[in-house]
Structure 1
Amino acid sequence: MARPHPYTFAHVLVPQLANRRPGAVRRELADPALARELLHYMWEKAAEGLPPAEHVPPRGLRLHWHEVAGRAVALLHLPAPQASTEAHLAALVYDPESDDEDEVEDDAPAPAAAGSAPDDAPRPRYFLLEATLGRSTDEAGTPTVVGEWRGEHYRHLGPGPAGGRPDTAKAFLQALAQVLGPLPGAGVAFMRIVR
């Protein structure tokens, strides 16, 4: 059974916030200091109401930006999963039309707060690489499944790359490239890692 702390973070809080405030969240995640602060704040929020024994340390929680199939991807590395449905990785995928951010003027209103009305930026797609039941070995890694949250609807997209390996993140990005497909007529590289 999934531990409530990491499950709530990956399956509830991240998609909720990214859908409620897509433009503001993207701007915050683009700034390394703000991204770290936001992710750790959300990690602590996911533990609220849980007994201290069920709190999971944020060991390994970090974010890297990539370009996959012509789209900007915020890849979240999560603490190692211990049960089925806990995630190894999560990805917020932003379509190119959401890249066109207007310059913010000095007298422009601040981004919406977490509980306020949604901003009008396009919502990202949200994917997870989850641990699943199956046989695992040190060499082959652990079995996974790729899933996607769309609003309140969740669907499995099929088996994912082996989890817990040094190449898991790269293999997950390649799986996302297959799911997303290239942008029509964009002529962009299928996958390019940006650091």
Structure 2
Amino acid sequence: NYVKKVPLYKQTDFHTVNSKESWRLFREELRVSKENAKIEDFQLILDKNNRIYSVRFDLVDKDDDTFKVFHYSNCFSCELKAENQVHISKNTVSEWIQFDKLVDANHFFEALDILNQKDFFINSTFDYKLIVSSGWTEESLVKGYYYLLKDRNLQKVDNAVPQTVSSGFNLQVIGSERAENFSTDIDTTKFVFIDSNLE
């Protein structure tokens, strides 16, 4: 299935990227529905200067009784020139078992935008940062250090007793010296839980 090579991000400086607007234009060009599009397995790598190194994700769009599944990847700074372009493939399947558990794509990119505006992704300690999310919504019982994004407010939570958070999804920011081999140990990882209620 040929799919138009539409870039999600047209520029690499993540400071100035508007993820919500980038998603809207991307969705319209690919004729993806606003109501039924979900995000799964999102990975975005930024370099030390907050420039986009690469981005990849799966997009699942429900259309009546079928599901259109897009696999998207785009590298900006990969060593191999062939990788430095947009790759999109599309399959149509009759079922996508986890569809109802996935985060709404509009909600996902809006949260990414709010976190970016709040400088959540800035970290000069590491050469590369991986922003990663499975895209699965969950009821969360979290304990320890983490950030909570709720009602557009970002707060740091430090508690020994697990807090019940309403449903939402989580995002991790993992630092590394290279653009691969990201390890989720406690010193390199920032964890944020995004409440379903952003408005």
TM-score normalized with structure 2 length: 0.28
Kindly indicate which of the two structures has a greater share of residues assigned to helix. 1
Kindly indicate which of the two structures has a greater share of residues assigned to strand. 2
